[in-house]
A and B are shown apart, each in its own frame.
Chain A
Amino acid sequence: MPAPIRPWIIRGSLFLALVALICIVLFAVFTARAMREAFGWVDHTREVQKELAQTNLALADAAALARGYQLSGDTSFLELFEPSLDRVATGLAELRRLTTDNPNQQGRLAEIDPKFQDLAARYRRRVEDRRAGVPAAYIEREKRLRDEIRQLTAAMADEETRLLEGRVRRAEGESDRAVWTTTGAVAAALALAGTAVWRLRHAWVARTQAQEAMERALQESRDLYNHAPCGYHSLDASGRFVQINDTELRWLGYQREEVVGKMRFSELLTPEGRRTFEEAFPRFRETGEVRDLEFDLVRRDGSRFRVSLSASAQRDAAGAYVSSRSTMFDVTARRSAESRVQEMNGELTHRAELLEAANQELEAFSYSVSHDLRAPLRHIDGFAGLLSKRAGESLDATGRRYVETIAEASRRMGRLIDDLLLFSRTGRTAMHHERFPAEALVREVLAELKEEMANRPIEWVISPLPEVSADRSLLRQVWVNLLANAVKYTRPRNPARIEVGATTDEGRGEQVFHVRDNGVGFEMAYVDKLFGVFQRLHRADEFEGTGIGLANVRRIVLRHGGRTWAESQPGEGATFFFTLPLTSSSSPFAPA
């Protein structure tokens, strides 16, 4: 992970380096000027010393010329005598000018001047004396003046040398300081520039790494783009392909070179698809989006396939439509699955309708059959009754038994038909759900069965029962049947024991009720027949009944969305179970 690039550090470093460089240049300029000044002073000192030497020389010339004329009388000596003195005067004036800024030198020159005037006067007198013929005498005073002047000029030369040395030393010091300062500044500039360069290098590395990462990400995106399970493409404003992924190319059967920049999307549409598109396009332009547009596309080989397309529009800064990006799915398989599901649904609905019709027909049939059967039965019983009433006396015992059997058989058939009617009705009557305590209902039913239990030793064990949501009158039939059955089939037991209880099965979301007896029981092999219509496991002369009760129980429980089953061992008693959904607000077995 490269350190973050901080541009202000680089900018700062470069700025400081620039400042350092400017300082170096200024310093160099300053130092050069100081040096030039120092060298100017060297020239000045040389000039002063040269002037001093020439002045001394001119004075020496004047002395020598004066003495030579005195000794020889040759006037040729005089030719150069006065110019030499002038030269000395000029030299002194020049020196005065050269040393105007130095009071010491000016002071010395002021000392020299009267001595020179004095000396020059003495030299002239000597020349005059010779001309006049006065004997020449070498006067001690001239020699002393000359020495004094020489000493003063020597002191001047010394001073100049001393000044020069000081100035050179100062210039050298400045030069040294300039060298050090420059070196330091250069070092600082180099360090700063180095920092900047290091930073830049660092930044460059980071950028390279970022670029590589981006390259990889781009590669990955491209890979995902191309191998996605859906088609992707981008179109320019004229609808021409700008980009398309491999998946979509594969679907269409084209090569990328044939499509990108060459084909328009509309070329792939069927006339119908083009209409779909033209209808959707204005809205797309307006909202910038289209979702799940379904239409057919034409492959290169002319075959068609169904796609679902979603697209978004790209706009420029002015909001004008520039291009579109689309995602699409091949929905051919889904479509065929859908149509298959639809077909199957249709078939199911049709079958359900047929079943419903058949069921209704059956109900109507059983209803009318029951009714139509009741009338002749009533007549059989009625006329058998009338017969015994009118002719009873004249019949013998066998005859009376026959009439009685006729009546009894018809009554039994009447009960069967009544039960069948009841059964038919429990399947058809509208259900009215209400919440009530199951225990109260059980107690109510028990009170009703009292007559059948008269003089029977029955031990009842009734556990607390929950509140239920059900059709009260239908559920009452369930309890009547189950409890009456328990009472009936425990008839040989002394004492009979009948348990009623309930448990809650949270997992299945149901309440499980049971009625357990210690009666005659049944063989589990026949358990499947138990809840069938007119199915009996005992002969009528053993236990009376029509075989419709448990069928009714099952039908009612089913209509409430519950289940029924039973467990038993012959001679050991039986347990009957039924369930009700914990929230049986509506039943899937609603009446037709």
Chain B
Amino acid sequence: MMAAVKTILLVEDNANDVELTLAALQDSNVSNAVDVARDGAEALDYLHRRGPWSGRTSEAPVVVLLDLKMPKVDGLEVLREMKATPALRHVPVVMLTSSREESDLVRSYALGANAYVVKPVDFQKFFESVQQLGVFWALINEPAPAATPNPEEKP
């Protein structure tokens, strides 16, 4: 059973947010390993298994918790590329961000985000939100089989 447990990918440039998110997930029932990418470029390397992550052997993550605003490549670009890549398009992506800006919401969903969560300022609420996310996506949600064919192949 343990070998089948997939990782959670957290894409977050802010070290404090990384630590708080990890603390929240640790405190929950979610036992999945959490890999952290510190910006969009690293996240794409991780997902494509290249650069520092070329030796990664784990399966595609069970969920990607994706921050919006990051240096180099931002969250929306990571999302766009994931949804354009057949091997990654079924990986659930949760936008986890400080922005409640309507345009960010609209663009995220337009690019195929599976969920959009605004990080609450309140510690307790933040903790609860992250834990619920972890539980839902890692435990409750049934991921797509690894070899799911693409319904419409892009020409």
Contacts and interface: CB of A to CB of B under 8 A. Distances in A.
Interface of A: 367, 371, 374-375, 377-379, 381-386, 407, 410-411, 414, 417-418, 421, 425, 429
A378 B101 contact: no
B127 interface: yes
12 contacts: A371-B69, A374-B119, A375-B14, A375-B17, A375-B98, A381-B122, A382-B20, A386-B23, A418-B121, A425-B101, A425-B102, A429-B102
Q: Is the interface of A mostly helix, strand, loop or mixed?
A: helix
Given A379-B20, A425-B102, A374 B121 contact: yes
A421 to B, nearest CB: 7
A384 B17 contact: no
Contacts of B127: 385
A375 B123 CA distance: 12
B127 to A, nearest CB: 7
Contacts of B99: 371
Contacts of B124: 385
Contacts of B98: 371, 374-375, 378
B121 A414 contact: yes
Contacts of A417: 121
Given A367-B101, A371-B99, A429-B102, A381 B121 contact: yes
B71 to A, nearest CB: 14
Contacts of A407: 123
B100 to A, nearest CB: 7
Given A410-B121, A414-B121, A378 B102 contact: no
Contacts of A410: 121
A378 B126 CA distance: 8
Contacts of B101: 367, 425
B122 A414 contact: yes
Nearest to A388: B123
B123 to A, nearest CB: 3
A386 B20 CA distance: 8
B102 A382 contact: no
B16 A421 contact: no
Nearest to A370: B98
A382 B126 contact: yes
Nearest to B21: A382
A362 to B, nearest CB: 16
Nearest to A385: B123
A374 B100 CA distance: 11
Contacts of B102: 425, 429
Interface in B92-133: 98-102, 119-124, 126-127
Contacts, number: 53
B23 A378 contact: no
Contacts of B120: 378
Nearest to A410: B121
A382 B123 contact: yes
A384 B127 CA distance: 13
Nearest to B100: A421
Nearest to A376: B16
Contacts of A421: 100
Nearest to A378: B121
A383 B20 contact: yes
Contacts of A429: 102
A207 B122 CA distance: 107
- Centre residue among B69, B100, B120, B122 by max chain A CB count within 10 A: B122
A386 B14 CA distance: 17
A411 to B, nearest CB: 6
A258 B100 CA distance: 82
B100 A381 contact: no
A385 B126 CA distance: 10
Contact of A379 (B17, B69, B100, B122): B17
Given A374-B98, A383-B16, 8 more contacts: A375-B98, A378-B17, A378-B120, A378-B121, A379-B16, A379-B17, A379-B20, A414-B121
A421 B23 CA distance: 28
B105 to A, nearest CB: 12
A407 to B, nearest CB: 7
Contacts of A418: 121
B73 to A, nearest CB: 19
Contacts of B119: 374, 378
Nearest to B122: A411
A411 B122 CA distance: 6
Nearest to B97: A371
Contacts of B14: 375, 379
Nearest to B123: A385
4 shortest interchain CB distances as A-B pairs: A385-B123, A414-B121, A379-B16, A382-B20
Nearest to B120: A378
- Centre residue among B16, B100, B123 by max chain A CB count within 10 A: B123
Contacts of A386: 20, 23, 123
A139 B122 CA distance: 203
Contact of A381 (B17, B23, B69, B123): B123
A367 B103 CA distance: 12
B89 to A, nearest CB: 29
Contacts of B20: 378-379, 382-383, 386
A377 B121 contact: yes
Nearest to A381: B123
Nearest to B16: A379
- Centre residue among A382, A383, A418 by max chain B CB count within 10 A: A382
Nearest to A415: B121
Contact of A411 (B16, B17, B69, B121): B121
A381 B69 CA distance: 21
Nearest to B68: A371
Nearest to B119: A378
Contacts of A385: 123-124, 127
Interface string B3-16: 00000000000101
Contacts of A383: 16, 20
Interface in B9-45: 14, 16-17, 20, 23
Nearest to A390: B23
A379 B12 CA distance: 14
A383 B17 CA distance: 10
A74 to B, nearest CB: 186
Contacts of A374: 98, 119, 121
A378 B24 CA distance: 13
Contacts of A411: 121-122
A385 B23 CA distance: 11
Contacts of A381: 121-123, 126
A382 B98 CA distance: 14
Contacts of A382: 16, 20, 123, 126
